[in-house]
Amino acid sequence: MSRTGATFPAPEATRQVRSVVLVGPPGTGKSALLEQLASGQLGHVRDAEEPSTELAVATTVHEPTGTVVTLVDTPGRADFVGEVRAGLRAADAVLFVVAAGSGIDEATRMLWRECAAVGIPRAVAVTQLELARADWDEVVGSCRRVFGEAVPLALPVLEERQLTGVLDLLEAVVHEGSGEIRDLSDEETSRTEGQRGQLIEAIIEQSEDESLLDRYLSGEQLDLEVLRTDLRAAISSARFFPIVPVNPPSGMGVPALLDLIVHAFPAPDQAWLPAVMTPDGGPFGELAADPDGPLVAQVIHTASDPYVGRVCLVRVFSGTLHTDDHLHVSGHLEWSVGHEVEGHPGHDEEDERPGQLSTPLSGATAPRDRAIAGELVLVTKLAGAETSDTLSATARPALVEPWLLPEPLLPVAIEAATTKEEDKLAGALQRLTAEDLTLRLERNNETHQLVLWTLGPTHVDEVLARLSGRHHVEVVTEPVRTSLRETFVRRVVQQGRLVKQSGGHGQYAVVQLEIEPLARGAGVEFVDRVVGGAVPRHFIPSVEKGVRHQLGEGVLAGYPCVDVRVTLTDGKAHSVDSSDMAFQHAAALALREAANDSTVSLLEPVDRVEVVVDDEFVGAVMVDLRARRAQVHGTEPADLPGHTVIRAEMPQHELASYPIDLRSVSHGSGTFTRTFARYDYLPSNLARELTG
């Protein structure tokens, strides 16, 4: 945990608060940019970034205005999109970081569309302009094609491939590396006149003052302050998306970017707020970012610290959070997902007491006694709180909807490396799932495996690393086994005969069973067709019990036998030696003796799959699907322009690595969902592979 004891000025009002999340692929300089923005002063910082897997948070003060700015850096890898969406819930605006010369990847495109759907304000910071392959005009063109209404607010001033200044198009000045501001040279004025005109026209187009356009076209020199005010209003309301150049290692362009964040991004009382209800699903009332309102806050991220225990990053949406508050902690993830989530049961803690509150700084934390609406703070010792849980007053409990959660689709089976590790593993997994909403835990009673459902191979590596490094539990992985079924494929008549005499009462039971296959999904039927009392009536339930138990255990390969009708047609009993257990055993024996390779076949589970992919890669995805024994049922245009939905059915065994392979085949543009469809015949050539 970072050092504590630093001092930090707390905001007096919500209008003095800004929160921004940084998003973009790995290697764009996000972490260095956060460090520069949070430091409050220019200086060279490291540019080499270790791939991040968790949120990083730092808070700074904009000295000219006293505005408190909290910055949230998110992981860039696709496997950690859950952390990115948590960051979006924490912030009121988004800064997309794009590296010049690297293009805009599909994950960034998809994230922009998600932000557009909820109307959150956005800006684009362009980095790495000093690289030989970098081209400002090219990256601006890419941004406009992908992001739509994205317009340069500033231009880079480059000398020998180094960013030495930032030219502010609206103000018509250059911010130099020394911190000085100079007027444009005649050459710069001439070169940028057209682009400045385009910027002004874009501002006028978004202005609520309809007279501005006529005045501008008539040649009137518009007041700069009017344009500045209209620009900030358009950015704050997500109608205008500025593009600015920055150099994170040197800090060039960072002061101007921080000014933009403070003046153009919305304060919490102007921003979108999530839906809120009572913990029982009833109405809570309208939510407002008011420090005097009812307390409503949400846990954005949780982590385990070896010294202080659980540490929660909390966003306060309404009211004021104090260190001595009595809190109601509520979490009902199943309401939004639509089903119970293993590892995340619904819960309501009636009276939790928070530990220390603190402001996250760059490399330190500053203790606090309260946090007002709009702020992000760290809270310790909330033992009952998980990521996405709601904190509220015990007198007026609330429940905030969780953010959009990606569905984990890549399974990995694990087991403790030693018997000694088994006891520790359960506790470690409980803590991990509480911290990571995108991690699902499944205990498969059929295959007797412990399966973790993850978002991708990097997510798997991170989970295993946390188990080992943070929780000191060593595990080994193994292939995920498929839950198979057996079924009879033709009619069989078989006698089951149990005759044992060992002194005293023996065991005697004879049954004759007729076994017939049924349609897929029909289940198991038992029919009594005995006549003449060949099997006494009180032993008929014993026969049925033996039949159903043996079918559940399997008749040939040890998998449950399904979709059969078993009819009891005849039998024999002994007045002394027959018993309930004897008829159960005789029925089971008949089923086992009826089963062989010619009468019984294996069934494998098949899932219904919907793949959404960029139109460019539909052909490649279709070829890959057919190679996986999928039955493609059709395609249609997706709701997302330029994308296609492919509907198919695919054996679960073939889906084991599909999240990885689809990402490769579709160049990151493909997503899919899966739901169980049915069991179907397993080809004989694959039976050995799946049964080991």
List the single range of 66-80, 427-441, 678-692 with lowest mean pLDDT: 678-692
pLDDT at site 505: 75
In this prediction, residue 654 carries a pLDDT of 94
Q: Is residue 73 part of a domain?
A: yes
Nearest to 676 by CA among 482, 437, 449: 482
The residues with which 356 forms a beta bridge, in sequence order, are: none
As to burial, measured by CB atoms within 10 angstroms (0-12 exposed, 13-18 middle, 19+ buried), residue 389 is: buried
Per-residue pLDDT at 633: 96
Where is the domain boundary, 582, 598, 614?
598
Residue 471 sits in a domain of what CATH number? 3.30.70.870
Q: Is residue 1 scored above 60 in pLDDT? A: no
Q: Is residue 217 part of a domain?
A: no
Q: Contact, 218 vs 211, CB < 8 A?
A: no
Backbone torsion region of residue 160, taken as left when φ is above 0, otherwise alpha when ψ lies between -120 and 50, otherwise beta: left
Residue 138 and residue 248 share a domain = yes
Residue pair 90/82 in contact by the 8 Å Cβ criterion: no
User: What is the distance between the alpha carbons of residues 391 and 382, in angstroms, rounded to a whole number?
Assistant: 10
Please name the residue ranges forming H helices in 5-78: 30-39
The more confident residue out of 572 and 307 is: 572
For residue 581, tell me if it sits in a domain: yes
Helix (H) or strand (E) holding 114: helix 106-118
User: What distance in Å separates the CA atoms of residue 681 and residue 374, rounded to the nearest whole number?
Assistant: 57
Total domains in the chain come to: 5
Task: Check whether residue 548 and residue 619 sit in a common domain.
Answer: no
27: pLDDT strictly greater than 50:
yes
User: If pLDDT is split at 50, 70 and 90, which confidence band does 46 have?
Assistant: very low
**Same domain, yes or no, for 256 and 151?**
yes
Beta-carbon count within 10 A of 475 CB: 23
What ranges in 179-315 are assigned the alpha helix state H? 186-206, 211-217, 224-236, 254-264
Task: Select from 240, 243, 229, 262 the least CA-distant residue to 167.
Answer: 243
Question: pLDDT band at residue 5, thresholds of 50, 70 and 90?
Answer: low
Q: What distance in Å separates the CA atoms of residue 491 and residue 514, rounded to the nearest whole number?
A: 7
- Strand 93-99 and strand 17-23: the pairing is parallel
Find the CATH number of the domain harbouring 679: 3.30.70.240
Spatial contact of 108 and 98, defined as CB atoms under 8 Å apart: yes
Same domain for 257 and 114:
yes
Distance CA 407, CA 655 (A): 14
pLDDT digits (tens, 9 = 90+) for 282-338: 999 889 999 999 999 999 999 877 667 789 999 999 999 999 999 999 998 888 777
Residue 349: both structure tokens together: 């803690």
Backbone angles phi, psi at 335, to 5 degrees: -70, -40
493 in the same domain as 581: yes
Residue 28, classed as helix, strand or coil, is: coil
Q: pLDDT category, 345, cuts 50, 70, 90?
A: confident
Q: What pLDDT is attached to residue 210?
A: 82
Model-wide pTM > 0.75: yes
Q: What torsion, rounded to 10 degrees, do the Cα atoms 316, 318, 323, 327 define?
A: -100
Q: Compute the average pLDDT of residues 652-667.
A: 94
Where is pLDDT greater, at 654 or 420? 654
**Contact of 48 with 39, CB cutoff 8 Å:** no
What phi-psi label fits residue 343: left (phi over 0), alpha (psi between -120 and 50 degrees) or beta? Answer: left
Q: How far apart are CA 84 and CA 438, in angstroms?
A: 11
Q: Are residues 110 and 245 in the same domain?
A: yes
**What secondary structure letter does DSSP report for 283?**
B
Q: Which of 554, 578, 598 is the last residue of a domain?
A: 598
- Give the whole-angstrom CA distance, residue 62 versus residue 16: 10
- Close Cβ partners of 336 (under 8 Å, ≥ 6 residues apart): 401, 402, 405
- Classify residue 609: in a domain, yes or no: yes
- Does residue 205 lie in a domain region? no
In a domain, 190, yes or no: no
Owner of token pair 């029909």 = 522
What's the CATH number where 310 sits?
A: 2.40.30.10
Angle at 632 between CA 626 and CA 633, to 5 degrees: 170
Q: Do residue 241 and residue 325 come from a single domain?
A: no
**Matching residue, tokens 């089971």:** 588
With contact defined as beta carbons under 8 Å apart, do 313 and 299 qualify? Answer: yes
Q: Is residue 210 part of a domain?
A: no
Q: Cβ(472)–Cβ(425) under 8 Å?
A: no
Q: DSSP for 294-310?
A: --EEEEEEEEEETTTEE
Q: Which of 475, 482, 502 is nearest to 656 (CA)?
A: 482
pLDDT, residue 178, reads 67
| Helix orientation angle between 580-594 and 540-553, rounded to the nearest 10 degrees | 40
Query: Residue 430 burial (CB < 10 Å; 0-12/13-18/19+)?
Result: exposed
546 and 649, same domain (yes or no):
no
160 and 262 inside one domain: yes
The enclosing domain of 122 has a CATH number of 3.40.50.300
517 beta partners:
564
Q: Are residues 525 and 585 in the same domain?
A: yes
As given in the structure block, the two tokens for residue 585 are 């055993």
> Can you give the CATH number for the domain in which 530 is found?
3.30.230.10
Q: Which of 131-135, 426-430, 467-471, 619-623 has the highest mean pLDDT?
A: 619-623
pLDDT at position 47 over 90: no
- In this prediction, residue 43 has a pLDDT band, given cuts at 50, 70 and 90, of very low
> Distance between CA 156 and CA 52 in Å, rounded?
28
Domain span at 627 = 604-691
CB 553 within 8 A of CB 587: no
3 — pLDDT class (breaks 50, 70, 90): low
Closest to 83 (Cα-Cα) out of 339, 406, 461:
406
Distinct helix (H) and strand (E) counts, the chain: 16, 37
Q: What 3-state class would DSSP assign to 55?
A: coil
According to DSSP, the residues that pair with 672 across neighbouring strands are 611
587 and 615 fall within a common domain: no
Kindly tell me if the per-residue pLDDT of 44 is higher than 70: no
Q: Which helix (H) or strand (E) holds 415?
A: strand 410-416
Do residues 563 and 455 both lie within one domain? no
Neighbouring-strand partners of residue 495: 512
383 vs 613, which has greater pLDDT?
A: 613
If we measure between CA atoms, which residue out of 57, 75, 113, 127 comes closest to residue 300? Answer: 57
Average pLDDT, the chain: 91
Q: How far apart are CA 216 and CA 204, in angstroms?
A: 9
pLDDT given for residue 333 in this prediction: 84
Which residues lie below 8 Å from residue 541, measured CB to CB, with a gap of 6+? none
Q: What is the pLDDT of residues 165-216, one digit of tens each?
A: 999 999 999 998 767 889 999 999 998 988 999 999 999 998 888 888 888 8
In a domain, residue 194? The reply is no
**Domain final position from 270, 291, 321:** 270
Q: Do strands 241-245 and 181-183 pair parallel, antiparallel, or not at all (unpaired)?
A: unpaired
pLDDT, mean of residues 541-548: 97
First to last CA, the chain: 46
230 has a pLDDT exceeding 70: yes
Encode burial over 95-121: b for 16+ CB neighbours within 10 A, e otherwise: bbbbbbebebbbbbbbbbebbeeeebb
Q: With a cut of 70, say whether residue 2 has pLDDT above it.
A: no
